[in-house]
Amino acid sequence: MGPLAGLRIVEMAGLGPGPFCGMLLSDMGADVIRIDRPGNQSLVGVSYDIMHRGRRLVELNLKDGAERDQARALINKADGLIEGFRPGVMERLGLGPETFEASNPKLVFGRMTGWGQTGPLAQTAGHDINYLSITGALATIGPREKPAIPLNLVGDFGGGALYLAFGMVCGLLEAKSSGRGQVIDAAISDGAAHLMAMMYSMHNEGRWNTARESNLLDGGAAFYETYPCADGKFISVGAIEPRFQKVLLDALGISTALIVHDLQAPENKKLREELARVFASQPRAYWVELLEALDGCTAPVLDMAEAPEHPHNKARDTFVTHQGVRQPAPAPRFSRTVPELQNWSQTEPVRADTVLDQWKRRH
């Protein structure tokens, strides 16, 4: 069941990117045990918390010596561990990487923080918006007047959880050949900076202006923009290449003489005005019917209620209903080791010794 079936992961409960990484690993078939303190409250109702899906919960008070020993026993039998505490917290609990060097030398120890395990900000509090701020990412997003907040997709989940999951899989693969584990230092600020590789490439060549809304992909181009329709709903246009621009403009009855490569040229402003005028003349459904089958690179801007009902998403089962909750399906897809959502209860804790006994019998 999934390409990571057979792997055993201990997840130290946290918020945001840590649980999302645990979800990613579980979605791919890993047996993930989430250790949380008794009575800890979820960010949303437990029954609705998609990021806690697919793994068992073991409640342990890590300040209690006997219960901390149970956590240590689980980690000693695991292939990997993920945690998102500030640097030094796991060491103070007696659960740092050095604790397991002799007892579980193949352990891959994944550490998720905002600023990383080292550096002047390592012990400083922060959140997604702060981590993006020092990478150049936040400064590039939004209208000219001020940066926009891209939810916590770019930092917590993109630069954080996905990089930790990638690091864990890399570490687990390497441990199979070397027989040795290692520490994965996944800093959200590092990951977010890494995601900016293309923008930094363009900046290095002098093709990226630091002023927002003056570049190809930041709202500076009329043909890479969102436009309101007559019903107040929006349609997105991503016709970067001239051949796609021509298809779009022909369908909308706009002169192709307005196709431009220089975003500072007057034609770019004129094209934006024309696209805004035309799209505002009809409701979104009209434009979807007219343009969806064409290579004009358009799509309706759907909200979270609409997205699961889109025909493409329905045909691919992009959203599924699991344990009574509509949610995104595992991604990516595999032709042979097909991931399936695991049916562990999110509300009923299990005992640590039960998990250990099952792991012993299974291996």
Q: Which residues are catalytic?
A: 127, 156
Tell me the β-bridge partners of 10. 33, 81
| Residue bearing tokens 């079936």 | 5
Report the alpha-carbon distance of residue 6 to residue 32 in Å, rounded. 10
Query: What one-character-per-residue DSSP string does 78-122 give?
Result: -SEEEE-SPTTHHHHTT-SGGGGTTT-TT-EEEEEESS-SSSTTT
* 289's tokens: 């019917």
HSE of 218, CA atoms in CB hemisphere, 13 A: 26
| Residue 111 to residues 94, 193, 226, Cα–Cα distance (Å) | 15, 18, 38
Is residue 251 within 8 A of residue 257, CB to CB? The reply is no
Q: In what order do the strands lie in the sheet with 298-300?
A: 224-228, 234-238, 298-300
- How far does CA 256 lie from the centroid of its chain? 38
Compute how many other C-beta atoms are within 10 angstroms of the C-beta atom of residue 212: 19
DSSP-assigned letter for residue 241: S
Tell me the one-letter amino acid at 52. H
